[in-house]
Each structure stands twice: as C-alpha cells, then as structure tokens.
Amino acid sequence: MTYMKQKIKNWKDYIDPQNLALLRHCNIKYSEALHYFKKQKWKNAREAYKEFTKINLIDFDAFYELGKCCLELGYFRECVKNWSKAQRIEPENQKLKKELIKVKNDWKTYYQRTKKA
C-alpha cells in the first residue's frame, strides 16, 4: 500500500488521479471518526481523527472535530493545538476564534485551580 506514505497537503492533491487510493482510505478513516464523534465516543473518535489527520493535513473539519474530542476528554493543550491547526486552514472562521479564546481562558482557570489545590 504505497498510498500510506502519501499525504494530502494541498487542494490539488484532492484532484490528482494518482491519489485515488489515498482519498478512498481518507474517506474511510474520516467516516469512522465521524461515526464515533456523532455518538460522543470521544476517546474512539480522537484516535480515529488522529490517524486521519496524519494523512490529510488540510481538513478543517477533522482538526476542529479532533479538538472538540480533546476538549470533551479534558485535554486542553491538545484541543488548542488542533484548533490552531484548523485556524491556519480557515483563518477567518469566527466561531473557531471565539471557541479558541474560550478554551484558552478555561484552561488557564483550570490550571490555576489545580495549582492551588
């Protein structure tokens, strides 16, 4: 399976006929991740999204949803990391900007509370 070494790095990779096997693999992985996400099985979804985002480096939804999984599991730093990647893909996304600010503030509050305990 030579497509396993390939990655989706830009929008041209979606239309390159040489990437058909890779794109099929991506679709299967994303479907699996989204299935778990919709069922709120955050741990399973997180693992599936992590696999997917190793292959597809430009999928906003995947990085956003991976960040949401991390947030639900309490992995604030990982959430911010993935939402920051999503923001680089869609820098004008206002909803994401607001959520990033909120999670960073929540993270600081959580960290300060645990430090005092």
The label of the residue with tokens 């893909």 reads 89
**Cβ-proximal residues to 54 (8 Å cutoff; 6+ apart), any chain:** 7
pLDDT tens column, 14-61: 899 999 999 999 999 999 999 999 999 999 999 999 999 999 999 999
Place of tokens 């997180």: 46
pLDDT tens for 57-78 read 999 999 999 999 999 998 988 9
Asked if residue 114 has pLDDT above 60, the reply is no
Q: Which residues contact 99 (CB under 8 A, 6 or more apart)?
A: 83
Q: Is the model more confident about 115 or about 13?
A: 13
Q: Which two tokens stand for residue 6?
A: 């390939």
Tell me which amino acid residue 25 is.
H
pTM: 0.87
Count of alpha carbons within 13 angstroms of residue 90, beta-carbon side: 14
Q: Domains in the chain, start-ordered, CATH in brackets?
A: 2-116 (1.25.40.10)
Beta bridge partners of 62: none
Amino acid type, 75: Y
